Structure 1
Amino acid sequence: MRFIFMSEGETAPGHTYEHRYRELVEEVLLAEEVGFDAFGTSEQHVAIGTATTSAPEVIYPYLMALTSRIRFVHLVTLLPTRINHALRVAERLATEDILSNGRVELGVGRGNTTLALRAFEVSPAENKAQQIEGLEVIRRALHNDVFSYVGQHYKIPPRSLVPKGIQAPCPPIHMATGSPESVRTAAELGVGAIVGGFYLGFDFIENMLRIYDEALVGATHTYPLQAQKLVAVAGGMHCAETRDEAVRWARQLTETVALSTDAYERLSKLSADYQYMGAVKHVDFSDERYMLQDSAGFIVGDPDDCIAQVQRYADLGADALVMRIDGLPHSELMKSIELFGKYVIPKFKNPRGVVRTPEAILDDIRNARPAHYAEVEAFGNADSHTDGSIKVGESR
């Protein structure tokens, strides 16, 4: 299980973007220190109230220079042609790969807000095809010394990408998937799938992961396989010293969820490609118990609660958790990151290294004694029939 810290630099009214970005830097540095595998942020343009990270490709190189171990995942780079030309994405990715010494990964998507799509004059009916073509352009550019592409949205003559990255065969690539059709496409392409974010429950997540596994086995892949199942815990992760404290803070996060999903139903009516997003209209965002426990959108509680909730995702077969840790005061986010890194991550990364209570160890010793004594007795009986039936400790 990989643990990916995700933040969108959510900035409260009355604060400044400058101050929030400096806080975010501190959060990433702490995340590396306490054991998170990766940091990622979304590419959100002209957002209102929930995200300020419009230029991850600028944020990441700064953080790469301050860190040495933690990886960086674009969650996600938008591939409508009016937002990002695929060749520019490939160039930036290769540059980041060099500057990070091989610590960057690419996630791709097509946009999930009308604010951004309309601002860049992106057609919701065309951006799915643009994403698929753009992804193919990126993969050709990264894998082949000389490449070309001819499609509906891109017509690129033979060219060679400059610079070339250092990860072989290329940085891991993932695709945002919100529907059974899209998660199947990711598997057939042989890239990772980022699932979740719709608060439809664990049955939905389980079904999406199953579809991915089945499609992966049945597909023939052109490029080296980069299969991985990433589950987005998009509502938020908040780990506190007590369950009550964690829930109290998490109530603020549910307000952000309602705002961030506000455009989903509108998008579902603009294009058949977004129709699946209309399912959120059946979610009762005011039902606290459902949201925090059963929506598959939150990990909230004390460290033991968080361990149990992470295990639920692990049991479903998730390879990585993308956990949004944002939307609360910086001091609380830092506490949450530290507690999760100190007590939760080791349970899944190095369980043998986690110190247990003396009582638990003594219980295991007592429970193991009967089998040990039975083995000793069996060994003694077997030895008594050896070498003239001389028993252990007996002399002639």
Structure 2
Amino acid sequence: MRFGIFFELSVPQPLAHGDEVQAYRDALEQSRLADELGFSTAWAVEHHFLQEYSHCSAPEVFLTAVAMSTRRLRVGHGGVVCVPGINHPIRVAERAAALDILSGGRLDMGTARASTITELGGFGVDPDTTKMSWDEFVHILPRLWTEDRVGYEGATFSFPERPVVPKPVQDPHPPLWVTVTSPGTERDAADRGLGCLGVAAAGFKEQERRTAEYRKRIQHCTPAGKSVNEQVATMNYLFCHPDDEVAGRVGGAMFAAFGMLNSNLLWAREVYPTPSYRSLGNLAAGSVAQVRDDDPGRRRPVPEGVAIGDPERIVKAVKVWESVGVDAINFLLNTANLIPQQDVLDSMRLFAAEVMPHFAEGGR
């Protein structure tokens, strides 16, 4: 089992001067500590216009800073928006290759197609085209990384033959992933030989179903790239504290705040019925984010599988994730600066000292 960290770079409102700067500085400090403690990967989303929820609109710049300040930590796009009206595929290939070079071959390349009408509409993108463009992206990127000259005529973008440089360090190219927010995307990943990068928290049963389907289908895949990336990662939340009650109070507030921000996003399906978006964003079946309660003011218990609690509680939760076949868990560490930075760092240290050894080779 590998453990990573996952950044949305959320910033509280009202936005004060320096808040965004502090959010980026905190994230870089967390990345440096993650590198020291043995976390595997730092993932960063790509979002646009989502004020407060995510101020991470240039992840390639942020991830380069992470790479330059760490030695072993892999850097991951979680993921690049594969829509030509937002990112041209040649520019995506060029930036990714440069990042792979600068990181010394530590790039993981996640792909996505955006879920909110705020983002798609802001760039004038037709939601009906995004699944097509994503499919074209994941097939053309490996060619741009490995072939001397490439030209392309497609349904959603075309370009004349050109030598696209630089080329990435990793052979044959960086591992390819697709972000998974709703049921069904794991099948798309498996059919193309891509890693399954969960970015919406799912409960044990739902994750087990998705993982089993993925493992079965990827055995018969037609790889989009030059290699198969058979890995399943899921997203979670982390606040580890010696006192389970304190952990639940502090981490629970962070978990609830992220859910509130997430629920206020304007998902494409809500305003633009299309077969390309079959569920309302992250509100997928079995999601741990789905909490029902008639009293909105009552403190809710931390849902199953969420890594908020004392080390013993978190070990038990992670062991279940391990049992359902998950290869990696990526943790959101904070939301809108709700948790003081020192407490976030202390949580990471305690998790590394008391939880991670249980999942190392020859663990406790």
Q: TM-score, normalised by structure 2?
A: 0.89
Three-state SS of the structure 2 residue aligned to 1:169 is: coil
Unaligned runs of 5+ in 1: 355-396
Q: TM-score, normalised by structure 1?
A: 0.82
Three-state SS of the structure 2 residue aligned to 1:46 is: coil
Counterpart residue number, 2:159: 156
The size of the alignment, in residue pairs, is 348
Matched, 1:275 2:278: yes
Deviation digits for residues 124-179 of structure 1 (CA, Å, limit 9, x no counterpart): 11111111112212121113223232211122232222011110110111001234
Matched, 1:284 2:307: no
d(CA) in 1 for partners of 2:104, 2:267: 41
Counterpart residue number, 1:4: 4
Counterpart residue number, 1:246: 247
CA contact (8 A) 1:192 1:227 kept: yes
Matched, 1:301 2:302: no
Matched, 1:202 2:211: no
d(CA) in 1 for partners of 2:87, 2:323: 37
Change in CA separation of 1:5 and 1:279 when aligned onto 2, cut-off 3 Å: closer
d(CA) in 1 for partners of 2:299, 2:135: 38
Counterpart residue number, 2:217: 215
Change in CA separation of 1:23 and 1:179 when aligned onto 2, cut-off 3 Å: closer
d(CA) in 2 for partners of 1:339, 1:278: 33
d(CA) in 1 for partners of 2:156, 2:222: 25
Counterpart residue number, 1:325: 333
CA contact (8 A) 1:258 1:285 kept: no
Deviation digits for residues 220-260 of structure 1 (CA, Å, limit 9, x no counterpart): 33632122111122xx2111111111100123221221221
CA contact (8 A) 2:117 2:271 kept: no
Equivalent residue for 1:81, pick from 84, 87, 91: 84
Equivalent residue for 2:356, pick from 345, 360, 374: 345
Structure whose CA Rg is larger: 1
Deviation digits for residues 194-213 of structure 1 (CA, Å, limit 9, x no counterpart): 135155x2221111111111
d(CA) in 2 for partners of 1:318, 1:290: 26
Deviation digits for residues 90-147 of structure 1 (CA, Å, limit 9, x no counterpart): 1011101110101111101011222212211222111111111122121211132232
CA contact (8 A) 1:106 1:172 kept: yes
Three-state SS of the structure 1 residue aligned to 2:323 is: helix
Unaligned runs of 5+ in 2: none
Farther-moved stretch of structure 1 (32-41 vs 248-257): 248-257
CA contact (8 A) 2:194 2:223 kept: no
Q: How does 1:1-396 map to 2 (within 5 A)?
A: 1-13=1-13, 14=16, 16-195=19-198, 197=200, 199=202, 201-221=203-223, 223-233=226-236, 236-253=237-254, 254-263=256-265, 267-270=269-272, 271-277=274-280, 280=283, 283-284=290-291, 286=293, 292-294=302-304, 296=305, 298-327=306-335, 328-352=339-363
d(CA) in 2 for partners of 1:281, 1:105: 25
Structure 1's consecutive aligned runs of 4 or more residues displaced over 6 angstroms after TM superposition are 287-291
Q: Which letter maps to 2:159?
A: I
CA contact (8 A) 2:7 2:43 kept: yes
Farther-moved stretch of structure 1 (237-246 vs 252-261): 252-261
Change in CA separation of 1:293 and 1:265 when aligned onto 2, cut-off 3 Å: same
CA contact (8 A) 2:127 2:268 kept: no
Q: Tell me which protein shows more helix as a share of its residues.
A: 1
| Backbone CA RMSD of aligned residues | 2.3
